[in-house]
Amino acid sequence: GPAPSQPADRLRELLTSDSLGFLMEAHSGLSAKIVQDEGFDAIWASGLSIATAFGVRDSNELSWTQVVDVVGSITEVVSTPVLMDGDTGFGNFNNARRLVTSLCRMGVAGVCIEDKVFPKLNSFVGERHPLAEIDEFCGKIKACKDAQTVPAFTVVARVEALVAGHGFGEALRRAEAYREAGADAVFIHSKKTDGKEILRFAQEWAERCPLIVTPTTYHTVPTDAFQEHGVSAVIWANHMMRASIAAMRSACREVRQTRTVTGVERRIAPLKEVFDLLDYPELERASHRYLPQR
């Protein structure tokens, strides 16, 4: 039959097809395996979630190689395409293109770079984050596109103008400049809760190139509205990490208070699930095949 398509091809297909695609966040091999098991189209390797899993802040407190190592531990164990949150590209055009060549070697499907300045701070913390100059960011996009060694690799340009309080016109102007610079898709971000500026942006954007949204603060907007406004993909950006904090907190507290694990036993994953998730049965079969049988 035909060769299986590569992750980069599948991410590109997800972004360019007529139906709305869904990316779920992962921040480790384990969380990526669960996302894949549950049938998501693609994985968002979230900067916030990866930093949080290390116990540090989403402000480039991890080195870029630490983040890339985590992304590599994800691509090693899943076949689902991975879109890496590349923050600002960890520096100027040169740092960003070095990132892209590393990701191409590792089988990562795409990278998202945002128009802020290094060191960035998470979009939901503080106000009026400084933005990159438009021409400087366009050069960064061009450098990334010129550096990719996998033809279908996707470079997403993330527009922070709305989050930084610069208004709608500035957001549109930047998105258009980034598209002209060669971005394969635009990620428009917002921290408003009603989602109105996102739907308005999508309407005005009118499918000039694939558009990605991240309904974290505006999660009550019905998902169908994104499809109806021509959005290509939705990222659930931090929900695996937040689910794990809630579960760990609750179990940890109960065990501490009751001095026994019996109470939490029925609501934590059984070890059988752990072993099935990591395919221990395959090791058993392989052992029969490759070890001398006595």
Query: Do the beta carbons of residue 156 and residue 179 sit within 8 Å?
Result: no
Q: Binding to Mg ion by residue 85, rule CB under 5 A?
A: yes
Give the number of other CB atoms < 10 A from CB of residue 81. Answer: 28
Smallest distance from the beta carbon of 15 to ligand SPV, in angstroms? 17
d(CA 121, CA 144): 22
Pick what 115 binds: ligand SPV, Mg ion, none; C-beta below 5 to 8 Å, kind-dependent. none
DSSP-derived pairing of the beta strands 233-236 and 21-26: parallel
Pick what 237 binds: Mg ion, ligand SPV, none; C-beta below 5 to 8 Å, kind-dependent. ligand SPV
Specify the residue, 152 or 235, whose C-beta has the smaller distance to Mg ion. Answer: 235
Query: Do the beta carbons of residue 228 and residue 199 sit within 8 Å?
Result: no
Give the number of other CB atoms < 10 A from CB of residue 160. Answer: 24
d(CA 128, CA 131): 9
Smallest distance from the beta carbon of 219 to ligand SPV, in angstroms? 11
Query: Do the beta carbons of residue 161 and residue 167 sit within 8 Å?
Result: yes
Q: Binding to Mg ion by residue 86, rule CB under 5 A?
A: no
- Say which of 9, 37, 41, 58 is annotated catalytic: 58
Binding site for ligand SPV (CB under 6 A): 46-49, 58, 85, 122-123, 214, 216, 237-238
Specify the residue, 75 or 123, whose C-beta has the smaller distance to Mg ion. Answer: 123
The interface region with Mg ion, picked from 80-88, 165-173, 201-209, 273-281 by CB under 5 A, is 80-88
Specify the residue, 28 or 214, whose C-beta has the smaller distance to ligand SPV. Answer: 214
DSSP-derived pairing of the beta strands 82-85 and 233-236: unpaired
Which member of 47, 81, 89, 195 binds Mg ion (CB under 5 A)? 47
Known catalytic residue at 146: no
Query: Do the beta carbons of residue 174 and residue 164 sit within 8 Å?
Result: no
Site residues for Mg ion per CB under 5 A: 47-48, 85
Which amino acids are annotated catalytic? 58
